[in-house]
Chains A and B, each alone.
Chain A
Amino acid sequence: MKYPGAMLSEIWRHLIKKPATVLYPLERPQIPENFRGKIEYYDDKCIRCGLCARDCPSGACTMKKFEEDKKPRPVFDLGMCLFCGQCAEVCPKDAISLTKKFEFSTFDKSSLIVE
């Protein structure tokens, strides 16, 4: 039968349901296991092969030469990062991992550099 207000019963039912949203800063959202967040780099594992910089689609990962090092090592700019996780996947020594951290908004760009 065609009558207006076919959704009314649904609407009444929702008056007594709890809200679908989360009060974000007070309640924490559940982060899934495979979440791709802030990059972490372990210098002791790195063999300076440069595969991460070669495969990075956005140019967030670059090889930088430091004074104390013989070979250049990767530096990550999270301001440019897409969080695809290709660098962590291609790394032969698991020197890069993506953590569950996702809150890194800042006024200071240098705090987004991971090295």
Chain B
Amino acid sequence: MAEITIPIGPQHPALKEPINITLKVEGEVIVEPILRIGYNHRGIEKAMEARSYIQNIYLAERVCGICSHVHSSTLVQGAEELLELEIPRRGLYIRTIFLELERIHSHLLWLGVAAHEVGFDTLFMYTWRDREIVMDLLELISGNRVNYAMNTVGGTRRDINDEQKKKLLKGMDALEERTKYYVKIATTEPTFLKRVEGVGILKKEVAKKLCAVGPTARGSGLRMDIRKDDPYAAYDEIPFEAITSDLCDVMGRTVVRVKELLEAYKIIKYAVNNLPAGEIRKKARRKIPENEILSYTEAPRGELLYYIKSNGTEKPERVKIRTPTLANIPSTIEMLKGGYIADIPIVFAAMDPCIACMDRVILVDKKNNERSMNWEALRRYGIKWYEVKR
């Protein structure tokens, strides 16, 4: 059978963010998927060099809309380490509570999106409605539903009072009950099971070789969780389990995320009940001594890396960000191989892609020596590009 190439994206109804997937197919089976990224470069790393650390906290929060707190936490953690500052325990506990609240809202969002991609919109509506509980809690404490602006160099900016503690515990109880119901749905409803079992297989060895991170790796049986491997914030004092699954398919990744939700409720309940008394922040110097550091945390999607190079001034000399989506791209290509065209949305959604956070570099083709293109030239270039690929 003749090999056919199908281009999907960068603009396509099935995609929520710009990415290009070029598929070589035989019938309905994908032979070779080619992913092309770099359509959404925003120059955040360069912008960070022009701003002070305090200003960068708010810029880092805007790298990703879903996991904003984890980005600012990673940056702030690096800056605190460079200052050799000891953060008050209460500040660290509040930071941890927010990291987990964010994980809950991210995983509930993912469950809804995954259900939507397999055509199970009822589950999508109900998970997103329940997500409002955690969004309201985030708004109650920080004042915003996203971009909470809770972190600062030296601790957190807002305290949690007794009334908020009560509401947090009540919200966690409600969510736990709902999540147990979703566990039941996800494991018994054939509408869901038929679309996720045996789809997007990523074997343990392959996942290890391709450096998969986060729930993608844990869904393939790799036990890697920064919260356990190198505890940050208050994770060293809080008991919880790192969830893994040996199913190695989309179902495995679903199980990991849903069970992680239950762990997150446990962590928040423990942290709220054992919240240490005292200060929430320490005064930090604005100028950060010359050094370099690699700061990493476990974002809802996986390991998030920040490399910070300071030069003794208020502004960093270089900040390098590696988001978990980028680390999972090679694994996704592997998952798509041998699958069906109809399974692309769910396999792709299973790694929880965040394309806009991922793009760090843009390549300019200097061979053609064309700095700018008019509409006609762009059209010709597009036709030529796809001709070469074919």
Q: Which of A38-46, A71-79, A81-89, A104-112 contacts B (4 or more CB under 8 A)?
A: A81-89
A32-B139, A36-B144 in contact; A85/B149 too (CB < 8 A)?
yes
Q: Shortest distance in angstroms between A38's beta carbon and chain B's nearest beta carbon?
A: 13
Other-chain residue from B56, B122, B132, B158 in contact with A34 (beta carbon distance below 8 A): B158
Cβ of A3 < 8 Å from any Cβ of B? Answer: yes
Q: Which residues of A contact B152 (CB under 8 A)?
A: 89
Q: Which residues of B contact A16 (CB under 8 A)?
A: none
Q: Shortest distance in angstroms between B137's beta carbon and chain A's nearest beta carbon?
A: 10
What does the 1/0 interface line of A21-41 toward B look like (CB < 8 Å)?
A: 000000000001111100000
Cβ of A10 < 8 Å from any Cβ of B? Answer: yes
A7-B189, A20-B132, A84-B58 in contact; A34/B52 too (CB < 8 A)?
no
Cβ of A55 < 8 Å from any Cβ of B? Answer: yes
Residue total for B at the interface (Cβ-Cβ under 8 A): 32
Q: Shortest distance in angstroms between B356's beta carbon and chain A's nearest beta carbon?
A: 17
Q: Which residues of B contact A84 (CB under 8 A)?
A: 58, 147, 149
Cβ of B83 < 8 Å from any Cβ of A? Answer: no
Q: Which residues of B contact A54 (CB under 8 A)?
A: 52
Q: Which residues of B contact A82 (CB under 8 A)?
A: 58, 147
A7 and B185 contacting across the interface, CB-CB below 8 Å = yes
Other-chain residue from A4, A36, A83 in contact with B191 (beta carbon distance below 8 A): A4
| A83 (CB) vs chain B CBs: closest residue | B144
Cβ of A92 < 8 Å from any Cβ of B? Answer: no
Cβ of A15 < 8 Å from any Cβ of B? Answer: no
B58 and A86 contacting across the interface, CB-CB below 8 Å = yes
Cβ of B140 < 8 Å from any Cβ of A? Answer: yes
**Which residues from 46 to 74 on chain A have a C-beta closer than 8 Å to any C-beta of chain B?**
54-58
Q: Which residues of B contact A7 (CB under 8 A)?
A: 122-123, 126, 185, 189
B158 and A2 contacting across the interface, CB-CB below 8 Å = no
A57 and B188 contacting across the interface, CB-CB below 8 Å = no
What does the 1/0 interface line of B127-171 toward A look like (CB < 8 Å)?
A: 001001000000111111001010010000110000000000000
Other-chain residue from B56, B123, B144, B157 in contact with A89 (beta carbon distance below 8 A): B157
What does the 1/0 interface line of B253-264 toward A look like (CB < 8 Å)?
A: 000000000000
Q: Which residues of A contact B143 (CB under 8 A)?
A: 32, 34-36, 85
Cβ of B366 < 8 Å from any Cβ of A? Answer: no
Other-chain residue from B142, B158, B188 in contact with A1 (beta carbon distance below 8 A): B188
Other-chain residue from B56, B123, B189 in contact with A4 (beta carbon distance below 8 A): B189
Other-chain residue from B55, B122, B184 in contact with A11 (beta carbon distance below 8 A): B122
Other-chain residue from B55, B184, B188 in contact with A56 (beta carbon distance below 8 A): B55
The complex places the Cα of A99 from the Cα of B178 at a distance, in Å, of 35
B141 and A6 contacting across the interface, CB-CB below 8 Å = no
The complex places the Cα of A36 from the Cα of B144 at a distance, in Å, of 7
A2-B193, A7-B122, A11-B122 in contact; A55/B55 too (CB < 8 A)?
yes
B190 and A2 contacting across the interface, CB-CB below 8 Å = yes
| B158 (CB) vs chain A CBs: closest residue | A34
Q: Shortest distance in angstroms between B194's beta carbon and chain A's nearest beta carbon?
A: 10
A-B contact pairs, 15 of them (CB 8 A): A2-B190, A4-B190, A4-B191, A6-B188, A10-B126, A32-B143, A54-B52, A55-B54, A56-B55, A57-B54, A83-B144, A85-B143, A85-B157, A86-B54, A89-B157
Show the binding face of A for B, using Cβ within 8 Å. 1-4, 6-7, 10-11, 20, 32-36, 54-58, 82-86, 89
